[in-house]
Amino acid sequence: MSSRSLDLQGVSTTFTLTGEFEMQNIDINTIAQSDLQAVKQNHALTLLHEMLRIRRFEEKAAELYSLGMIRGFLHLYIGEEAVAVGAMQAFGQQDRIVATYREHGHALARGVPIRSLMAEMYGKANGCSRGRGGSMHLFDAGRRFYGGYAIVGGGLPIAVGLALADKLQSRPYVTACFFGDGAVAEGEFHESLNLAALWKLPVLFLCENNLYAMGTALARHQSQTDIAMKAQGYGFQGEAVDGMDVLAVEKATRRVADWVRQGKGPYLLEFRTYRFRAHSMYDPELYRTKEEVERWKERCPIATFQTWLRQQQLLADTTLAQIEAAVDHEIEDAIVFAEAGPSEPVEDLLRDVYTQEG
Amino acid sequence: MSSRSLDLQGVSTTFTLTGEFEMQNIDINTIAQSDLQAVKQNHALTLLHEMLRIRRFEEKAAELYSLGMIRGFLHLYIGEEAVAVGAMQAFGQQDRIVATYREHGHALARGVPIRSLMAEMYGKANGCSRGRGGSMHLFDAGRRFYGGYAIVGGGLPIAVGLALADKLQSRPYVTACFFGDGAVAEGEFHESLNLAALWKLPVLFLCENNLYAMGTALARHQSQTDIAMKAQGYGFQGEAVDGMDVLAVEKATRRVADWVRQGKGPYLLEFRTYRFRAHSMYDPELYRTKEEVERWKERCPIATFQTWLRQQQLLADTTLAQIEAAVDHEIEDAIVFAEAGPSEPVEDLLRDVYTQEG
Amino acid sequence: MTYREAIRAGLREALRSDPRVFLMGEDVGRYGGAYACSRGLLEEFGPERVRDTPLSESTFVGAGIGAALGGMRPIVEVMTVNFSLLALDQVVNNAATLRHMSGGQFSIPLAVRMATGGGRQLAAQHSHSLEGWYAHIPGIKVLTPATVADAKGMLLAALQDPDPVFIFEHAMLYPMEGELDEDAGAADISQARVRRQGNDVTLITFGGSLPKTLEAAEQLASLEIEAEVVDARVLRPLDISTFLTSVAKTHRVVIVDEAWRTGSFAAEISAQIMEQGFDHLDAPVARICAAEVPMPYAKHLEEAALPQVGIIVKTVQGL
Amino acid sequence: MTYREAIRAGLREALRSDPRVFLMGEDVGRYGGAYACSRGLLEEFGPERVRDTPLSESTFVGAGIGAALGGMRPIVEVMTVNFSLLALDQVVNNAATLRHMSGGQFSIPLAVRMATGGGRQLAAQHSHSLEGWYAHIPGIKVLTPATVADAKGMLLAALQDPDPVFIFEHAMLYPMEGELDEDAGAADISQARVRRQGNDVTLITFGGSLPKTLEAAEQLASLEIEAEVVDARVLRPLDISTFLTSVAKTHRVVIVDEAWRTGSFAAEISAQIMEQGFDHLDAPVARICAAEVPMPYAKHLEEAALPQVGIIVKTVQGL
Ligand SMILES: Cc1ncc(C[n+]2csc(CCOP(=O)(O)OP(=O)(O)O)c2C)c(N)n1
Ligand SMILES: Cc1ncc(C[n+]2csc(CCOP(=O)(O)OP(=O)(O)O)c2C)c(N)n1
Ligand SMILES: [Mg+2]
Ligand SMILES: [Mg+2]
């Protein structure tokens, strides 16, 4: 862990710090060398903050689910926060994000307002999908967050199409497509990788390999378990990254996002990670042992990053307390917002099936 | 070409000579060493005979199509005969065959009676599918010929299931699954290879890479054009074979069929071949040059094999004439049979939608 | 015993009594089934006969067809009808056609089970009711068990059938309690069934809408309207005669179907009743279906989108 | 001009007038389209805008949806409806839902074209008529051009529509000759159209069955029965009012639909006419549909399986 470094070298001229409510672009060239350490610290703390925000948001969501305030399917990302947070650093405002049904983390890391997210899970009209989508279908056009796909593998062709649109319009944007290890078995994975490679489309395939597709372990659903290697079958590159290490995720994603942005075609990253919680709120977890889960929890991406930050003298106890407080406050505020949110009138049931014209 | 050899070594104790109307099993151990040369010659001539039979059958079918006697879609196999004939030598009576819509060659090489095949294409009740299937849907339960799939890729899961049935019943049979290069792009290719490998099923995936999927050249539909190599992505082996060389096809298929039969899991063979005729009878062939076709025709699997047989003193002019005459006679007989065949009564339109019970 | 337990009992019985039977699908083994229908079966029958599949609906449904061709009696669980769209090519183009297009050479004794329906706030991609689509396909049979007895009995019947049978288990029914005879065997799968007698109106429904319809009938009874409730049970082949017998008595029909209205299977039932029972009808056949909207997540919107007891009562009153 | 040429003219016009339009699908480029609809377009517009895809229906339809989200106006050709089963998940779960489940944030201006129907002895896997299934799905529009004018006009209309539009071109119609105004633009896609006036019976149909139905009407005229022929044109949203106007005049209806009878779209039309026009009906609405059999190859069997002029005439006479 201590071998990690916060490396801003070799990054394109602008990089993105994702704040709670907005995204800032900082031109690295304008930063005085003396300020760089501050920027680094600031960035590192942002990463921590982002991960904690997701963790606490979901812990709260689980509570609210037990209370019946949130319903439907709820898939928690707890344990995998380093992936969404680290990867999302690599994308600019014009880049596009496609995610799965386990996408609270991606939405938050992308800057989808936490209020609109919570309201969505309450099914309120001020939710990010007007309460029509729920936990599995978060959308935010302004942040180019394209959802929210609950059919495993179903988002990949969409991502390929978004990238095709950018290529046809000669825009230097990247489409980031998140999906699980389970999706790798679906035909659409194969078809999408082939098409993206064939047409050299700017898609970054980001596999969150948490070792299980629901209750089916990787080795029970993949005849060949090295996912990164599968890119070779389509003539492009893939690599595996430690998905429990936010800095490793950020670094790798930045590097290959640039590569993709340069028009060199798609790239596959496999993030090796683990889901600490059940698949969904219904899952009795018969398929794995408590010990296995405990072993992985020792590698908690937040706890280990905190330890490392402390070792590097980048995190004071007071700072952590401040971050925790800010997160708690933000979540409480989001709940208030959601609870106060209006319900869509039943008369509007049929709205947004088709585009209202004129 | 002259480096080829008719190698019966290392073949399992029985091998199959496919005759026109029946299949014979000969126990190689009972053959006196002195008779082996005769057996070899006999076998070689059988291969030639089989290929010629397919060629002439299809030339006639094309004629009959122009005359309106055969209708629907007609996909000719001309140029690819070495694949079906060579490969089919490797399979015993209990093995199972799954093919595509371009399957006259496979049906004939498997021993489906030419009469029932011709009658099928005439849409007659004495056809191998009672006139219900036509050219794209040839079936013969007795010869374990499971069709005849006109949805590209659609036969692969069926083959996987047949192999699963054999494995579950501890039977040492192989399921041979033929498909085109175009099918490789479909999701079912990926899913089927994964499942077969994961469950170590006795399927032999036989890709007939004729360089085109309809009018789309291999490099325009595959980002990575080495098909044999794709097996690696599923953790098993694949290899490419010269599909214009009937002996090379036979040898490779025998070898890997044994391997599969031993329970070692699936195997992928890619036969590099070429279709001399249009994709179907409607195809104006705008997508390739006459020169390209002519170049491939120089490698005609029948002509080159004849030349080699002559060089080896295995084929006399009179023998060839006899074979040609036998084939012509057989085809004429089949046409007579088809023309005389009864049409299914219209009142029976709804038969065989469900199984008649009791 | 619950509907879920009845399915499990059916699975267990089938696996015990016929070595050719095996179960495959996503998470049927170690997880115990997304709806816990197969919990315990892996332990009893082992991984050869209770097989977890990768996420690859088209291929494992196709493999089920192939295994049936190869002499087995597969039970394929497609977790939900929503994902079955990925396998529809295998259903329409292979399962339903292989017998016919081979001129009757092959039978495909395959049972496919899947959860269907809405009502749990699972939103637009997880709430489909597409059994009506399946019922459009000649060559397969389509069952919609709505009672605990049918949950088990129809599964056993499907396994005795030589042709592909698709069983739609409504997700809201799994926890439903009901009677089940210990040694109840295969159910009849040729006929609809009158679940409640009545002379004033015929309510035809199936699957997840049966409990709602029965409840509506109770409410109507308190309003002095005696509704006859007919459970279609089998959507293909459809038993129209049971409907007609009832219509000849009541002269009024309301069909309750959770699918979107346009192109719903309710339309088929309506059309057939008109075609064959026109002279018995005192009023047009009415349909209560889902609103034509991808299912919204919010509870009040989902409730408004789906057929409910209240609207059934109101519709009957307004006939 | 033929129906095929009209489609080509529409494609060319769309590609010329809007740089966001592009065409993709299997063999649309070098081959010129399986039905030759796009012949010459690769040469005119180049491989960026006329894109041959690998065989991967689910992904290139999904990519069409994505490209529409990304600001393009894709035209996706799925060679035939038979293969579109492989893409149905993308249609039902993405194209039709994304607008709604994002709370209206996105529109998907996508046009998908495909050939449909039987009649060419292509047998059980290549003869489906599934446009009725598509018409079941809220969130998409479904067009069935049956004339040369609609072949072009509906394509242009689809491209002006902000939502996903599916166009079903009946394979038997491609060589059909008809009138087309040189500068005819987008067609109206909100209404059914009366193709022949008559007072005695209403024949409702769409797509490939229109020519047969018009021919039947001619034969009926010689029998002194004046049939009104209504071309539904748009299956979703369905223009029931044009049907009702005609029924109010004729009091008798026959629907001709090439799909299998059970669960056909004809059932929906029948049900709606009953629901809204019950009092106008002098006889039950009749349906002429395909026989419930996977399409057999043999010519005489295929003919017997499909609606034909003779049976239309006979059915009307028997009303
Ligand atoms: C096509 C499809 N099949 C089945 C499901 C049910 N299902 C939901 S999530 C899931 C497992 C997916 O695993 P993975 O892709 O690894 O993602 P993870 O949940 O681990 O993040 C399954 C089987 C689905 N949603 N879609
Ligand atoms: C799923 C599907 N998509 C499209 C088609 C139309 N089609 C028939 S054959 C063919 C090309 C197949 O190429 P390949 O697999 O290489 O086989 P070949 O014809 O070369 O033997 C296409 C696109 C089809 N039959 N099925
Ligand atoms: Mg996973
Ligand atoms: Mg090919």
Q: What is the CATH number of the domain that holds B292?
A: 3.40.50.970
Best residue among C55, C58, C81, C85 to mutate for probing ligand 1's pocket (most ligand atoms within 8 Å of CB) is: C55
State yes or no: pLDDT of D275 exceeds 60. Answer: yes
Residues from chain A that touch C27, judged by Cβ atoms under 8 A, are: 214-216
Q: How far apart are CA D55 and CA B132, in angstroms?
A: 27
**C-alpha gyration radius of chain B:** 20
For the domain with range D3-173, which CATH number is right: 3.30.230.10, 2.60.40.1170, 3.40.50.970, 1.10.357.10? Answer: 3.40.50.970
Q: pLDDT at position B8, please?
A: 44
Q: Is the pLDDT of residue B16 over 80?
A: no
**Cα D176 to ligand 4 centroid, rounded to whole Å:** 31
Q: pLDDT at residue B286 above 90?
A: yes
What are the tens digits of pLDDT across the range B261-274?
999 999 999 999 99
Contacts of A221 in chain B (CB under 8 A): 198
Mean pLDDT of C52-68: 98
Q: Which two tokens stand for residue B307?
A: 């030349």
What is the C-alpha separation between A166 and D69, in angstroms, rounded?
A: 11
CB contact under 8 A, A129 and D105: yes
Which structural domain range is residue B16 located in?
11-341
Q: Residue A119: inside a domain, yes or no?
A: yes
Residue B351, in any domain of the structure: no
| Ordered DSSP codes for A227-249 | SGGGGGGGTS-EEEEETT-HHHH
At C183, the pLDDT band (50, 70, 90 cuts) reads confident
The pLDDT assigned to A24 comes to 42
With cut-offs at 50, 70 and 90, classify the pLDDT of residue A30: low
Q: Compute the mean pLDDT over every residue in chain C, rounded to the nearest whole number.
A: 98
What's the gap in Å between B69 CA and the centre of ligand 1? Answer: 51
Min distance A299 CA to chain C CA atoms (Å): 25
Q: CA of D122, closest CA in chain B: separation in Å?
A: 5
Contact criterion met (CB < 8 Å) for A349 and C298: no
Q: Alpha-carbon dihedral of residues A158, A163, A168, A171, nearest 10 degrees?
A: 140
Among protein residues, the one with the nearest Cα to ligand 1's atom 21 is A180
* Band (B31; pLDDT cuts 50, 70, 90): low
Query: Which atom of ligand 2 has the smallest separation from the CA of D79?
Result: 4
Residue A80 Cβ inside 6 Å of ligand 1? The answer reads no
Instruction: Please state the domain count of chain A.
Output: 1
In the structure, which protein residues have their CB atom closer than 6 angstroms to any atom of ligand 2? Answer: B 102, 150-152, 180-183, 208, 210, 212-214, 279; D 26, 55, 57, 79, 83, 86
Of the candidates B242, B251, B235, the one whose C-alpha atom is nearest the C-alpha of residue B270 is B242
Task: Give B141's contacts in chain C (Cβ within 8 Å).
Answer: 102, 105-106
Q: How large is the ipTM?
A: 0.96
The pLDDT of residue B20 is: 30
B106-150 pLDDT, tens digit per residue, is 999 999 999 999 999 999 999 999 999 999 999 999 999 999 999
B199 contact residues in C (CB cutoff 8 A)? 51
pLDDT of residue A16: 37
Please identify, by atom number, the ligand 1 atom nearest to the C-alpha of residue A213: 13
pLDDT given at position B27: 57
| Contact status, residue D234 vs residue D191, Cβ threshold 8 Å | yes
What confidence tens digit (pLDDT) does each residue in A88-126 have?
A: 999 999 999 999 999 999 999 999 999 999 999 999 999
CB of A209 shorter than 6 A to ligand 1: no
Q: Which ligand neighbours the alpha carbon of B99 most closely? A: 2
Find the helix or strand (DSSP H, E) in which C77 lies. Answer: strand C73-80
The pLDDT confidence band at residue A19, using thresholds 50, 70 and 90, is very low
Residue in A64, A70, A71 to test binding to C, most C beta-carbons within 10 Å: A71
Q: Is the pTM of this model over 0.90?
A: yes
User: So which residues of C are the catalytic ones?
Assistant: 57, 126
Residue C136, helix vs strand vs coil = coil
Instruction: Read off the pLDDT of each residue in B159-187 and give the average, rounded to a whole number.
Output: 98
**Backbone dihedral region of D38: left (phi > 0), alpha (psi from -120 to 50 degrees) or beta?**
alpha
Helix (H, G, I), strand (E, B) or coil at B48: helix
Instruction: Tell me the mean pLDDT in the region B195-224.
Output: 98
Interface test with B, best of D31, D58, D80 (most B CBs within 10 A): D31
Mean predicted confidence (pLDDT) in D2-31: 98
A214 in ligand 1 pocket by Cβ < 6 Å? yes
The bound ligand whose nearest atom lies closest to the alpha carbon of B80 is: 2
Parallel/antiparallel/unpaired status of strands B14-18 and B23-27? antiparallel
Please check whether the two domains, C3-173 and C193-318, share a CATH topology. yes
Is A231 a domain residue?
Answer: yes
At position D75, the amino acid (one-letter code) is: I
| Mean of all residue pLDDT scores within chain B | 92
Q: Whose CA is nearest to atom 20 of ligand 2?
A: B213
Q: Per DSSP, what are the bridge partners of residue A205?
A: A177, A268
What number of other Cβ atoms are within 10 A of residue B332's Cβ? 11
User: What pLDDT, on the 0 to 100 scale, is given for residue A9?
Assistant: 42
Mean pLDDT, residues C45-54 taken together: 98
Q: Which of D138, D148, D145, D128 minimizes the C-alpha distance to D236?
A: D138
3-state secondary structure of A271: strand
Q: Show the beta-strand stretches assigned E in C150-198.
A: 165-170, 193-196
Q: Token digits for D37?
A: 């609809």
Tell me the CA end-to-end span of chain B in Å, nearest whole number.
58
At B298 the pLDDT is 97
Give the nearest chain B residue to C107 (CA atoms). B355
Q: What CA–CA distances, in Å, run from D249 to D271, D277, D317?
A: 18, 11, 18
Fold that domain D193-318 belongs to in CATH: Rossmann fold (3.40.50)
Smallest Cα–Cα separation from D274: which of A342, D282, D170, D288? D282
Q: Is B311 exposed, middle or buried (0-12, 13-18, 19+ CB in 10 A)?
A: exposed
Rounded average pLDDT over D149-164:
98
Q: How far is CA B105 from CA A278, B280, D102, D214, in A?
A: 53, 15, 52, 44
Domain residue spans of chain C? 3-173, 193-318
In chain A, residues with a C-beta closer than 8 Å to the C-beta of C31 are 214-216, 283, 286-287
Q: List pLDDT tens digits, range D60-105.
A: 999 999 999 999 999 999 999 999 999 999 999 999 999 999 999 9
